[in-house]
Each structure stands twice: as C-alpha cells, then as structure tokens.
Amino acid sequence: MSNEGAKEGRPRLWTPSFCAVAAGNFLLFFSFYLLLPILPMYVGETFGADKALTGMVLASYTIMALLVRPVSGYMVDSFPRKKLLIICYTIFMLFFCGYPLAGTLLLFTIIRAMHGAAFGLVTVSNSTMAIDIMPAERRGEGIGYYGVSNNLAMAFGPSISLYFYETLHEFTPIFMISIITSLLGLCCVSMIKSPSKVTIPTTKALSLDRFVLVKGIPEMLPVILFSFSYGILSTYLAVYGRTEIGITDGTGLFFVVMACGLVLSRLRVGQMLNRGLVSQSIILGMILCLIGFSVFVFFRQPTGFYSAAFILGLGFGTMCSALQAMFINLAPHNRRGTANSTYFTAWDLGIGLGVFIGGHIAEVTNYATAYRTGLCVSTIGCLIFAFIIRRHFERNKLR
C-alpha cells in the first residue's frame, strides 16, 4: 500500500506509527469484544441477576464512557497526546484484572463502570492520535483502514470468546486473554512517534465548546438512534440466538460474517470520503443497516440470521467511517479531539440506551420485540439525517 502511494506521488499512509496505532486499536477492541458476548451470561450465572438488572449493570460501562467523553476531548486537545494515551491505555488494561476478583454484584458493577470511563478516555486518545498521523490528503482512506482494525477485533473477539465458553464452560480463561491482549496493545502504542500537536490557546476561558463540538450537536441525533439499535444487537445477540432462533453454538460466526461486510465496506468507503462524498456515504450505510435489521428481525432462522450479519456489516462499515469524517470536517484542526469525543459521546449514549432499554423490553416481552424496537428507532434516524441533518452539515462543514 505504501509503495502504491509512493508511485502516485501521494504521501505515505502506512508508516510504522500508523501501523502501531492501528495494532493498538485492534488489541484494545479485541480485549473489549472478548467480554461483550459472555458478560450477560456471566452476570446471570455468577450473581443470579435477571435480564433487566443485567442490562443495568452492563449499561454502566457505556454510561461512564459517555460521561468522560467530553472531558477526554478537552484533555486530548490540551495535553501531550502520546503521554495521555499511554496513561489511559495502562488504566484500561488494569481494570481487566478486576473482573474475576469481584465477589459481589455491586463490586462488579463498580469495576465495570470505571472500566467504561477508562475506555472512553483511551478510545478518544487513540483515534485522535491516528488522525494526527494520517496525511491530510489520505485522511478518508486512513479513517477507513483504521476502522478495519475495529472490525477485525469484532470478528475475532466474540468468536474466540464464545468458542472458549462453549468448549470449557468457564469464564476465567477469557478474562486472562483480555488482560494479555490489552497489555500487548499498550506495548504497540508505546512505539508511536507522535507528531507535533496543535493545542487550543490556554488563554481562552473554559466554555461548552471546549468539551463538546457545539456545531456538531445536531449531527449527534442520528448517531444516537443508530447506535441504540447496535447496542441491542451486539449485547444480547448470543442470548437471542439461543432463545429465539435455536442457535446454541454458532452465534460467534455472526460476528465473523458481520466483520467481513465491515472490512469490505471500509475499504470502499475510504475512496468515497476522499472524494468528499460524506453525506452520500452516510445515507448509503443507513439504508444498508435498515435492510440488514429488517432481515434480522423478520427472517428468524439461521439463514436470515447470518445474511443479516453481512448486510449489517456493509451498512455499519460504510456509515460509521463517514459519520466520524463528518464530525472531523465540522471542526478546525486543533479541535480534532473534541470532534472525536463528540462523535463517540453520541455513539456511547445510543449504545447505553439500547442496552438499558433493550434489557427492560426483553424482560417485559422478549428479545424479538427489543430488536423490532431497534429497527423502528433506526428508521427514524435515517429519515432525520436525510431530510434535516444532511443540510445542516453541508452548510457548516469546513472542508
């Protein structure tokens, strides 16, 4: 890839630092996704929590990540980014050690919530570092490739996690793998050569726009609505597959198939973003997501289950890269951290609401109803973006 860029006279994208930040991102999300599908079962089996209580416990992670996002954006824009990244990544890694040691549901909830805060800090730090390293001319392409590292983690993490659980029926080995992989990720990001950083002038008084990209607040709404559906999808997938469809040992394959769609779409959407087709990419991704959710909800059989995974992968891969680029394009260069944190804040808020409300809907009715609710919410998000938010973005974008 770098040779190709050299032949065309373009700046090099795949530098050692970009490889290191992408690897660190993969290992960060790999350790995260390892726990995601088994935690509902762990909380239920270990502490005897019902569906609604499990949803509240798991939502604490996203809620805390959400609360620290605005602060993380301010910190990334105001302090040395590599040092901040190393500190945040170290804290994130250490919290994995607490899960197997938690003897009560209350202690587990506290550890889960604080881990969410660390996740909120480290993801903003790492993604902003990645954008700093990318050449401006290849930023759309770079965001797409950087997102591939998330998608590969999404494919391998849940699959390996569910394999170990279905084979050993134990949770401890999964926790240990999370600790080891996050430690390896810390080693990767420590090798990044950080570029010089542009900071916000320290003479400026603290205000709301130091913590949130005010210009991007309307753009947060469709992100929240689609991540609401994703929160339900990713958190309760294993339980839904087992109780509603009858898939007892193949739900991990869903994430592999979904990741195939994600990777394919990421590779394509980078070229579209480099041509400035941000709004078009978002709408295309949203439509694909709606098709995938419809197949998932209304074709409740293994064929529909796995077909939906690929279509959803295409949709989320296309949409999420473009959504992040949208927030970056609304911000000046010295506000990249704030732009990233605003995007992640919206994403986390939607996921937290999805996990929390989805758990309550499933408790009162069933998981199928929870997923139908997610489809309705996503449809509203698509309509809002197409007819309202798109125009706002086109009027206010800086590049």
Q: For the segment 233-290, what is each residue's pLDDT rounded down to a tens digit?
A: 877 887 777 777 777 666 668 878 888 898 888 878 877 887 888 999 999 999 999 9
CB-based contact 308:299 (threshold 8 Å): yes
Rg (CA), the chain: 20
pLDDT at residue 337 greater than cutoff 70: yes
Residue 219, pLDDT score: 94
Give ∠ CA 103-55-385 in degrees, rounded to 5.
145
For residues 384 and 164, what is the distance between their CA atoms, to the nearest angstrom? 42
Residue 6, pLDDT score: 45
Residue 66, pLDDT score: 79
Residue 196, pLDDT score: 60
Q: How far is CA 165 from CA 169, 173, 296, in A?
A: 5, 9, 24
Q: pLDDT tens digits, residue range 353-370?
A: 887 888 888 888 888 889
Give ∠ CA 24-143-177 in degrees, rounded to 5.
25
> What H or E segment, with its residue span, contains residue 52?
helix 51-78
Q: What is the separation of C-alpha 84 from the centre of its chain, rounded to a whole number of angstroms?
A: 20
Tokens of 373: 């609710």
Between the two ends of the chain, the Cα-to-Cα distance in Å is: 25
CB-based contact 351:231 (threshold 8 Å): yes
- Within 10 angstroms of residue 148's Cβ, the number of other Cβ atoms is 22
> Is 1 contained in some domain?
no
pLDDT at residue 40 greater than cutoff 70: yes
> What is the overall mean pLDDT for the chain?
85
What is the number of domains present in the chain?
Answer: 1
Residue 8, pLDDT score: 53
Amino acid at 242: R
What CATH number did the domain enclosing 256 receive? 1.20.1250.20
Q: How far is CA 164 from CA 150, 159, 287, in A?
A: 21, 9, 35
Residue 103, pLDDT score: 84
> Is 66 contained in some domain?
yes
CB-based contact 262:317 (threshold 8 Å): yes
Q: What percent of the chain has pLDDT over 90?
A: 36
Task: List, as one string, the DSSP characters of 258-324.
Answer: HHHHHHHHHHHHHHHHHTT-HHHHHHHHHHHHHHHHHHHHH--SHHHHHHHHHHHHHHHHHHHHHHH
**What pLDDT band is residue 58 in, cutting at 50, 70 and 90?**
confident
Please report how the helices 105-133 and 39-47 are oriented relative to each other, as an axis angle in degrees rounded to 10.
160
Please report how the helices 217-235 and 367-384 are oriented relative to each other, as an axis angle in degrees rounded to 10.
160
> Is 36 contained in some domain?
yes
Query: Average pLDDT of 82-104?
Result: 92
For residues 384 and 378, what is the distance between their CA atoms, to the nearest angstrom? 10
> Is 342 contained in some domain?
yes
For residues 132 and 150, what is the distance between their CA atoms, to the nearest angstrom? 18
pLDDT at residue 352 greater than cutoff 50: yes
Least confident of 96-100, 272-276, 394-398: 272-276
Torsion sign, CA atoms 75, 121, 234, 189: positive
- Within 10 angstroms of residue 252's Cβ, the number of other Cβ atoms is 24
> Is 111 contained in some domain?
yes
Residue 29, pLDDT score: 92
Residue 203, pLDDT score: 43
For residues 354 and 36, what is the distance between their CA atoms, to the nearest angstrom? 14
Residue 251, pLDDT score: 67
Identify which of 134-143, 213-222, 380-389 has the greatest average pLDDT. 380-389
> Is 365 contained in some domain?
yes
Q: What are the start-end ranges of the H helices in 169-250? A: 172-189, 217-235, 237-240
Nearest to 235 by CA among 68, 47, 42: 42
Residue 131, pLDDT score: 86
Give ∠ CA 256-356-25 in degrees, rounded to 5.
40
Residue 242, pLDDT score: 77
* Domain coverage including residue 131: 8-194+210-396
> Is 3 contained in some domain?
no
> Is 331 contained in some domain?
yes
Q: pLDDT tens digits, residue range 179-224?
A: 999 999 999 999 998 776 544 444 455 556 667 888 889 999 999 9
